[in-house]
Amino acid sequence: MANYRRRSTSAYRTSGSVAYAPIYEGNTARAPRREEEVQRTPRPKQREQVRRHERVRIEVRQAGVVAPFAVVGFLAVAVFAVMLVASYAQLAVANDEMVTLRRELTALQDEHVKLSAQYEKVFDLKTIQEAVGDTMVRPTNDQVVYIDLSEPDTVTVFQERRVDRGLQDLMDGVRKIFDGIVEYFR
């Protein structure tokens, strides 16, 4: 009889591979058996106590203090963003100027070729010899001077430095740095 009860309390009856595990119900919760059910005893009715209506106390959070490092950080990010946009604008202007100068260089090179051809047409040694006559002669070897330009150019300027010039040089250096910064943002 216990065997019969066991079969009747299962959720389904099947034949096949699940027939050997009749209690299996997948992911669902198993229905409790009658023996497992807890006997509920009725509670005696109690009179509900009257509650006083209390006002809900609202707590207000105080405003937080802004960290100075956060403000400095945001300002630094803003300054760098403005500098980045300004540098991109300068780059665009420089690229446009470079394209314009390249066009101008091409035009000037074409003009140079044309003018060189015209110069070669005008320069004729026979015509010059006829215009000058016999007064034009070739230079002799003692009149020819060769200059050696194989070494690099160097210049040495000697000046006496004064002590009071040091402060003036420092001020000039600071002024050049400041002018460079101002020029960068233009």
**Average pLDDT value over all residues in the chain:** 78
pLDDT of residue 93 exceeding 90, the answer is: yes
In angstroms, the Cα distances linking 20 to 15, 17, 87, 137, 162 are: 9, 7, 79, 130, 111
Going by pLDDT thresholds of 50, 70 and 90, the confidence category of residue 24 is low
Which pLDDT does position 92 carry in this prediction? 96
Instruction: Tell me which of 79 and 65 has the higher pLDDT.
Output: 79
Q: Tens of pLDDT along 119-144? A: 888 777 777 778 887 777 778 888 88
pLDDT bucket at 3, cuts 50 / 70 / 90: low
Compute how many other C-beta atoms are within 10 angstroms of the C-beta atom of residue 25: 13
Measured distance CA(126)–CA(128) in Å, rounded: 5
Q: How confident is the model at residue 20 (pLDDT cuts 50, 70, 90)?
A: low
Judged against a pLDDT cut of 60, whether residue 23 lies above it is answered with no
Give the Cα separation of 77 and 71 in Å (integer). Answer: 10
Look at 52 and 142; give whichever has higher pLDDT: 142
Question: With bands split at pLDDT 50, 70 and 90, how would you rate the model's confidence at 102?
Answer: very high
Q: Which two tokens stand for residue 108?
A: 């000037």
How far apart CA 17 and CA 7 sit, in angstroms, is: 16
Q: What is the pLDDT of residue 88?
A: 96
* From 21-30, 134-143, 161-170, the region with the lowest mean pLDDT: 21-30
